[in-house]
Every structure is written in structure tokens, then in C-alpha cells.
Structure 1
Amino acid sequence: MQKPTEEEQEMILNSLLLPMMLTMIEKNGKEFELSTNMLRRYYIAATQILMNRIHAEMVKNKNELRSRQIKVFEENRMDDDLHYKYICRGYEYPFAIMRDVVRSKISVMLGEYVVGLLTKMKE
């Protein structure tokens, strides 16, 4: 049995962060729907495109983890950190991440998605 590679560790982290990011964007999208901002419909459309991309990435990531025999589970929260465990090819590993790190990583990922969308729009 082998430990997860760096790439697999990134995939494990993404399996946690992508759903959180999707939830945040969905919540903001609902706020836009209630807004009276004149750009409201553009924000809503951009939010939907972003959500579709993130969802597609989640599905791809989940399928790849499954094909590599890796499962991720949320553990009980004992403190301000988020606790998970993952099973990788028969071995079980604990995993914890601080909320501040989650926020920071999601912010960076979201920026990358937005840049990707804008780049695609220019093409």
C-alpha cells in the first residue's frame, strides 16, 4: 500500500474546498437575485457559469479519487479546525485544516476560476 502522492493530496484537498466554494457562490448568487443592482442579471449569469464550472470540477475530482481508491470523510469538529479522514488504498489518514487556511485557499481558487472565465470570454 502506498501513501497518496502530492497530486492525490491536492485532489483530497479539492474534494473538501470545491463544495465549500460552490456553497459560498450559490449563497452570493441568491443575494444577487434579491438585489436591485442594475447589473444584477449579469452577476447572476456569471455566478451560474462559475457554479457550473465548479460542479464539473467536483465531479471530475470525485471520479478520479474513486478510480484511485481514495475516500474522504468529515470527522466531528472538536475546535475551530475542520477535521477529516481519508482512506487511501486501504490505509486511513487523519486530516485537519484551519478555517483561515480554508478561506485563503478558497479565495485563491475562486480568483483562478474567475481569471479562467475572463480569459475564455476574450477568446
Structure 2
Amino acid sequence: MLPPGITDDDHALIKPYILLPIVLSAFERDLNVIKTAVKTPDPYVDLISAAMDRVTRELTELRNEFRKRGIKVYELERTEVGYRAEYLCRGYQRTFSMLDGLVRTEGGILMRKFLGLDMREVEASRTIETARGDEKDRPE
């Protein structure tokens, strides 16, 4: 349960705040690899650079939204099992954590989105996996 001064929407903004810099770093790393590993890197470099520009714009918009809502992330750290952010939202202190597996999955989805790939297949496979997981959790 969130404190009365923090909405679910406020809390939900922390997830992309963690993920977007990770996605940007992954694109940057991949860009450097592609530049040296591919004979004609220019089309790939252009595609990834455009995706990086979109990530940067979204991160800027997110930071502006933080300012409007009075959200301040004062600690973001890599833990043994994932990432943890400590933040203030209009005077209330909260923690947001993400496990590595979720970061990898959500990061991959965001990378596809920013590259302009068709997200219908990704969403369909997530729906199927969720349904399978729900069936496993049901008592016999």
C-alpha cells in the first residue's frame, strides 16, 4: 500500500527511470560492437542512433514529469539481484526494486519498441506466458 501522498501513477514512473538508462547503455554497447564487427555498419548505426535519440527524449520527458510531480530519486543502485531506487515523492520516502530477470525482459521489450519493431508478437508471447503462469499457480 502506498502512502496517501503517492499515487500508483507516481510510483509507476520509477520503473522507466531505472530501465531507460539501462536501455541507452545497451544500445551504446551494441552500437560500438556493430561498428567493428559488421562490414556495412552504417544502416545499423543509423537505426540504433535513432532509437537512442528516442530513449533520450523519453528520459527527458520523464525527468520533466518528475519535476512536476515532486519526485526525486536520490539513490539508484545495482544490487546482487537487480536494481533498487530510493525516492521522495512530495515528502514521502519510498523504495522501488526490480529483479534482474524483469530488467532483462522489460529492457528487451523497450529496445524493440524504440527500434520500431512490431510489438504484437512480443505482447502475444507475454500473454501466453502469463496465462501459463496463472495455471501453474492455481490449486488442483
* Smaller-chain TM-score bracket: 0.7 to 0.9
CA distance 1:61–1:116, shift in 2 (3 Å) = farther
Match of 2:116, SS state, is helix
Match of 2:87, SS state, is strand
For the 8 Å contact 1:2–1:89, the answer to whether it is kept is no
For the 8 Å contact 2:48–2:115, the answer to whether it is kept is no
Partner of residue 21, structure 2: 19
Alignment size in residue pairs:
116
Partner of residue 42, structure 1: 43
Root-mean-square deviation (Å): 2.1
For the 8 Å contact 2:82–2:100, the answer to whether it is kept is yes
CA distance 1:36–1:111, shift in 2 (3 Å) = closer
**Structure 1 unmatched runs, 5+:** 118-123
Deviation at 1:116, TM superposition (A): 6.5
If the length of structure 1 is used for normalisation, what is the TM-score? 0.83
Larger Rg: 2
Q: Does 1:111 align with 2:112?
A: yes
**Structure 2 unmatched runs, 5+:** 119-140
Partner of residue 69, structure 1: 70
Match of 2:80, SS state, is coil
What do residues 26-85 of structure 1 show as CA deviations (whole Å, max 9, x unaligned)? 1100111112333x1100000110000000100010111111100113355553231211
Whole-Å separation in 1 of the counterparts to 2:111 and 2:117: 10
CA distance 1:67–1:116, shift in 2 (3 Å) = farther
Partner of residue 93, structure 2: 92
CA distance 1:36–1:110, shift in 2 (3 Å) = closer
Comparing 108-117 with 81-90, which one deviates more in the overlay? 108-117
For the 8 Å contact 2:14–2:96, the answer to whether it is kept is no
Partner of residue 81, structure 1: 82
Match of 2:13, SS state, is helix
Give the letter for the 1:46 counterpart: L
Pick the aligned partner of 1:8 from 7, 10, 27: 10
Whole-Å separation in 2 of the counterparts to 1:97 and 1:68: 22
If the length of structure 2 is used for normalisation, what is the TM-score? 0.73
Give the letter for the 2:42 counterpart: R
